[in-house]
A and B are shown apart, each in its own frame.
Chain A
Amino acid sequence: MSLFQSDFWKDYIVVILLTVILGAGVAAGASRALEAFLGAAVQALLGEAGQYDLIVHVRESSRSAAAADLPRRLAEVHPDILVREGVALAGNANFFVKLPEALYTQAALEQLAARLSAVPGFNGYSWMLEPSITVTGLRAGMRDLLALEAARLPGVRAVVRHGASLTVLLTSVEEQRAVAEALERRLSGRHIVELRWPEGAAADVEGAVRAVAERLQPRTLRDVTSAPGTGGSLERLGAELAGAAEQWQKLLEAGAAAAEAAEKLGALLDALEPALALAETPEQQGERLSEAVRSGDGADAVGQALFRVVLTNVLQALAGEAAAAGGGTLPLHELRAALQALAEDAVALRQLQEEDVYAAFETLRELLPAAAGATVAELLVDEAVTPEAVAEAVREATGQAVEAYASSPGVVTPNPRGVVVELLANARRAVAGLIAVAVGLAALVLDHAAVLAAAEHMPGSRRGRPWLAALSGAALVGATYALAGGGIPYVGPGAAFVLGAALGLLVMAGARRFSPVAEEEIVAGQALGLSDGQIMREIVVPAGRPGLMTLLNARRRTFR
């Protein structure tokens, strides 16, 4: 291309380099300013990132006791743990806890969480570790397996298991996408198949795993059955019980009703006791009735005698068999004692607090796992392996009539701040990318359209014009995009170079319109024996639109 046989090419390259550097600076600066502005707004809303690591929820009624107990208890773990009491919400006092760096390990975090249940009024806790990703809906076995795998991922600082979730603490927020994708890869395309043996049957879990492996040959097969004492079915039982607040309320109401009923029954007994004390045998009743008739005291005396007979029979009917077995007399002292016990139980029921219920659940977890684990197995297999196929394989191999159900292995959910930070970073990248494209396009129109339009009239440069346009566009847009950290969805760095080349060709097609050049002046220059580079420097560029090239060229041209 004759245009580049002169030293004009140096100017051209310098202009492209300067455009890329300045454009990338503008794009990166503007996008980071936008991110900082939006980030400040987010921080005002959510608080400073990493300010606290944990919120301990305590029943508001126990706030004072917890305020004294929690710092002391946490100081035993590490003297540098900071505790600040926050606002009370929905009946819960909240204590914000900041942990020292030394505690950012799985063992330390999980042990710390285990200690919290002893805090007076303890009503749960929430991890605020940042930056982090949380995986929810995990079976205990799956959770433990994933915890091991996640801990080995690059960018992961620590993992914390809690309930049916796993919180993965990252080394930096930039790792969020990569780690989330790595966790997604471990979950997607797989599911948990839960095998249930009939009640009382001796489950052959090993045989079942072997049967699935041999008969279905899945790419993924892991026994993630919850180990005894770590949850599993009981984990879910605990979760279900913990979530049964409504049923708990009904239970309390039933207790109150029972206490009231027992009280009223007691009062009724007190009222009836004198009458019951007069209860007579049928023989005595017959004699009393005959006496009343014989005495001639009249209808009143007969009526009273009849009333006693009826009342006695009614009471005996109420007492049922117990009264009959007692030879016709009611065991009033036993009835009274039973009512008293019922009333006391009801009062005790009303006095039960959630902590006692949770304690009961924990006891259940300790007592029941062996029985639950014995009849349930959980296998992580490919999604293509259906529960029906698994059940069939186990039945055929072991002869055991098992039932199989499929469920999701877990869901990756970056924490809200992480999502917002990720969104802001995406927005920054998109803005940087858009600015980079705009800068590249502006440079093409302002600086390069004149050159491309003029090259059309230069026989030595005409053929290479499309290459010049495509390469200039690719360099301007692609390099600016990459340098500015641009990230428009679906437009990677490679695509940005292609986009730039396309824009270069587009500008070339409309070069005359974007930057009209006087063809006759170019022809005059050619007739005077000027080179293409001289024509560009002395005739075309000075007459072009103001831009970086015009600015640089002004210092180099001879005729100012």
Chain B
Amino acid sequence: MLQVVDLHKRFGDRVALNGVSLSVAPGETVVVMGPSGCGKSTLLRCINRLIEPDAGDVFLAGRSLRAMNEAELRAARREIGFVFQHFHLIERLSVLDNAALGLVMAGMPREEAEARALAALERVQLASEANRFPHQLSGGQRQRAAIARALAGGPRLMLWDEPTAALDPVLVGEVLDVMEELAQERSTAMLIVTHEVRFAAGAADRVVLMEEGRVVDEGPPAVVFGQPQTNVARQYGRLLAR
């Protein structure tokens, strides 16, 4: 489904991505982990070209995203759901409108779009809050609303950028539950950036460890955390063992 090939990105003198390559199969859940600043979020944003990579390429279902023009890119983005750390909900729109926005703007009739948005909200158990506005929701609800928005378009690929990092610890669980359910459904390929090592160990098909803009380890969670080959893996292994 997704192939990232030798991706490079610099911000001035700082190297954010230094030849990252990875792949995600359809329905597969891949968790990217690593210390802060190692380039995880940059990787996700380079995949759907929210940030333009300096070199390398990204293939979605075999099509190069870097070769796409703006219209093609917009169409490709509609196949990629993106869940942000800080939700990124449109504050003036209701939860339902937030979820339906991408569909309506893609040309779907308003009623159909709202029906699909409502279905997505039901999947994250937020249909009852459909007519409320983001500022009226708790952090967990807001993130679930953001997940519903990403799901509403029926994406082939879901990119998750530390979806629980901005939540109170007591609210993290409800978001992780949704993520686990989606992973179990295996209907969508998912590339998840998170520090939640237990979630990674339990829900991921593969774990990718990054350090200083490079992939330093990769494999099933049991192998990566059980037989750590790098300091990063060992640290996560210790966390998992607690």
Interface residues of A (CB under 8 A from B): 2, 5, 459-460, 518, 520-521, 523-531, 534, 538-539, 542-543, 558-559
Contacts and interface: CB of A to CB of B under 8 A. Distances in A.
Contact of B105 (A2, A520, A521, A528): A528
Interface string B85-121: 0111111110001000110111000100000000000
Contacts of B110: 558
B160 to A, nearest CB: 12
A236 B77 CA distance: 94
Given A524-B90, A558-B104, A559-B97, A529 B84 contact: no
A559 B104 contact: yes
Contacts of B78: 528-529
15 contacts: A524-B84, A524-B89, A526-B77, A527-B82, A528-B82, A528-B101, A528-B149, A529-B78, A529-B102, A529-B106, A530-B105, A534-B105, A538-B101, A559-B97, A559-B101
B75 interface: yes
Interface string B126-165: 0000000000000000000000010001000000000000
B84 A559 contact: no
Given A520-B84, A558-B105, A559-B97, A530 B74 contact: yes
Contacts of B86: 520
A530 B90 CA distance: 13
B104 to A, nearest CB: 6
A521 B92 CA distance: 10
B52 interface: yes
A528 B102 contact: yes
Q: Point out which of A518, A521, A558, A559 has the most chain B C-beta atoms below 10 A from its C-beta.
A: A559
Contacts of A543: 91-92
B70 A460 contact: yes
B106 A523 contact: no
Interface residues of B, number: 29
Given A529-B153, A558-B105, 12 more contacts: A521-B91, A524-B84, A524-B89, A527-B48, A527-B50, A527-B84, A528-B77, A528-B78, A528-B82, A529-B105, A534-B105, A542-B92
Contacts, number: 72
A52 B101 CA distance: 74
Nearest to B146: A524
A89 to B, nearest CB: 74
Contacts of B90: 521, 524-525, 538-539
Nearest to B152: A528
Contacts of A542: 92
Contact of A523 (B52, B88, B91, B153): B88
A30 B132 CA distance: 46
A531 B74 contact: yes
Nearest to B110: A558
B75 A529 contact: yes
Contacts of B93: 559
A5 B105 CA distance: 15
Interface of B: 48, 50, 52, 70, 74-78, 80, 82, 84, 86-93, 97, 101-102, 104-106, 110, 149, 153
Q: Point out which of A2, A459, A524, A526 has the most chain B C-beta atoms below 10 A from its C-beta.
A: A524
Contact of A538 (B77, B105, B106): B105
A174 B149 CA distance: 66
Given A526-B50, A530-B102, A538-B101, A521 B88 contact: yes
A528 B75 CA distance: 9
A549 to B, nearest CB: 16
A529 B70 contact: no
Q: Point out which of B75, B84, B90, B110 has the most chain A C-beta atoms below 10 A from its C-beta.
A: B90
B120 to A, nearest CB: 13
A458 to B, nearest CB: 10
User: Lowest 6 CB-CB distances: which A-B pairs, in order?
Assistant: A528-B102, A524-B88, A529-B78, A527-B82, A529-B77, A520-B88
A344 B84 CA distance: 120
B69 to A, nearest CB: 10
A6 B101 CA distance: 17
Contacts of A526: 50, 77
A529 B74 contact: yes
A167 to B, nearest CB: 69
Contacts of A529: 74-78, 102, 105-106, 153
A332 to B, nearest CB: 124
A450 B90 CA distance: 16
A521 B134 CA distance: 12
Contacts of B102: 528-530
A3 B198 CA distance: 44
Contacts of B101: 525, 528, 530, 538, 559
